[in-house]
Chains A and B, each alone.
Chain A
Amino acid sequence: MSDAKKINPRPLSPHLQVYRPQLTSVMSILHRATGFSMAVGTMMIVWMLVAAASGVEAYDTFQWFVGTVIGKLMIFGWSAAAFYHLCNGVRHLFWDMGYLFKIENAYKAGYLVLAAAALLLALFWWLLCGGAA
């Protein structure tokens, strides 16, 4: 092992169990996780629309569910995932245009995304709880 290192000191592949997580790698996998969980969560929108098209009873059942603790937790998860994926998606679009490739800029944009997503999430829940009224 030590001999091989001397002869050919190539980087080892990142075995996830022993690899120290970095902001960039954690945010990368989080982008996929939030995207996929939103794809599943969009079924709530489908339920809302199909229920409203079906009639009063089906719509009231949906409204009841959204008001329960589980429903509220789902809205919290949906909003957190949506704001993160939105902000980090913009970061991805900047990469696509060829910007932010310097490591320090990738990190700076990463922290900016986290701050913006947290701010939007806080604003959303402040308004949802009647903050502006």
Chain B
Amino acid sequence: MIVEIGHIALIMALIVALVQATIPMIGAARGDGRLMAVASTAAGAQWVFIVIAFLSLMNAYVTSDFSVFNVASNSHSAKPMLYKIAGVWGNHEGSLVLWVLILATFGGAIVLFGGNLPPALRARVLSVQALIAVGFLSFSLFTSNPFERVFPAPLDGNGLNPLLQDPGLAFHPPFLYLGYVGFSVAFAFAIAALIEGRVDAAWARWVRPWTLIAWSFLTIGIALGSWWAYYELGWGGWWYWDPVENASFMPWLAGTALLHSAIVCEKRDALKAWTVLLAIVAFSLSLLGTFLVRSGVLTSVHAFATDPARGVFILGFLIFVVGGSLTLFAVRAPLLKAGGLFAPVSREGGIVLNNLLFSAAAATVLLGTLYPLFIDALGAGKVSVGPPYFNTVFIPLMAPLIVLAGIAPMLAWKRADLTGVIARIKIVAAVTVLVLLWSVYRAWGNAVFGAFGIGLSAWLASSVLFDWAVRIRLFRVSALDSLQRAIRIPRAAYGMSLAHFGVALLVAGVTASSAWRTEAIQVMRQGETISVAGFEFLFHGVVRAEGPNYTADRGHFTVTRAGGLVAELWPENRFYPVQQQPTTEAAIHTTWLADLYVVVGDPDGQGGWSTRVYYNPLVPWIWLGAMVMALGGAVSLSDRRHRVGAPNRRRRRLMAGEPAAEVAR
């Protein structure tokens, strides 16, 4: 019964979305306030219906109602509760319901925080949002209904793919979707602005916080996915340039560019058309990501849908959204008059270069990801574009970006004095050179690439710290005075510094773990010891262990260094009888400066086990860096200037002709 209520609620949500997509749009065109007001009511109703649908599906999972086809094929009564809940979005149909739930939640948030938006803009934004909802709701209802029943109900379900039964991955999809769908708000604002033919500083102020939210969540989502790949797939790597990874990375690159260009749009009234275009591109790439991952054109753990009807539907929707919005952009963009002028050497100039580099990077990733699909579609054979392509292309594009990120925040708006800034950053340059020399020395005979990457990281990190020290006049005025200055720096500035510092951590982690990783593969017998990077790994053998829904071969290692105990490690090889599927569970000990990573393979039949031991220097900094970046986003978001709704109040006051000093507050 509850399942049917959920089904009806989903249908109701579609009907409401249809109303919300049309009536307010007509109202905005006619200037009819009553028709426009429908948008807020409809957005609220749509949210309620989708919440009902989502909860009833979750209820079916939690109570293991196997008369629901979706539950029967993706859940199992013996599964731990966390994975029963996470199982809701661990499959194609359920993940779509999560998608629309997040979309409706963003719609509701616009209503909640959008009290100060001009009514026409709000109506249009909500209408565009609803149009996206119509697409996804009908996709869900017509091709991938999660509430379909099965008769007779099976006694037990097929279970969730064991690879996905993992805490890191349980929360990976919601975060990723919060990012993907979050860009729909920027997209809706862009479309609304194109219809109105007007983009101003207030518009940019509105778009920024939503982009920040989406970007922060996407950062966390990607980091969780890569962390999972690191400890679950058992090959010691954390990024493979897999098409599925790229699918989430491309919107991130475009979103990062958008985040920066929106600042120029707000502060300098420039780059308007470009910012609108980036908003369209970021969301289009999110849709493309959803399409690539969900349609089954790519094969991976994510490819749930293999039904061609679904692929055709998403492709059609993708063409409609991307084609439609780009056509609208081509027609209306000339209306967006360019604003302020600026010199190439200025904060804006730096951000333009940042945007060019990010766009180029996104384009190369897109090309590498889609190329095999094109070749295959043309029938010209099967090819794969592997990590070497992406590394050769991506690193040369990112390196100048990091150099830039070290300088640009110190440049003034409008016109800056580059020589002055260079003279000021002598200390930063000195730190960079020192660290570079040190890492060349450490890496003697090893990759120059490593030293170079560490140098870049040091450059960015020291520049962030130096910039902060200059701002608070550290050691030039009294400590108390400095502290007061530190408190007065806006949170948005702290957010930027944190995010850039996070990038520096990430770069250090990426570089060190790729350049100086040590790996040892061997067969070990009980009592044998292997030495890797100065650590002694003593193997105690393998025992059989029982988990809640699996059995495992559990290895045991004692790690010592110079006689002192470092860690006990228990890597596992699990076998899930329901799915008849094995998984590898690496055992990891982290010192925060490095990870010790152990995997047990197969027995050799003579009492030995194949084992793999990695020493991964600085690898935890990758995820630490990503978290610091997301934290930067959150801090920036807490800045009062970013509080949604603020810009409009300001504009109205401007119109009322209040003194400028009052406005600036």
Bound pair: A and B?
no
Residues of B within 8 A of A (CB): none
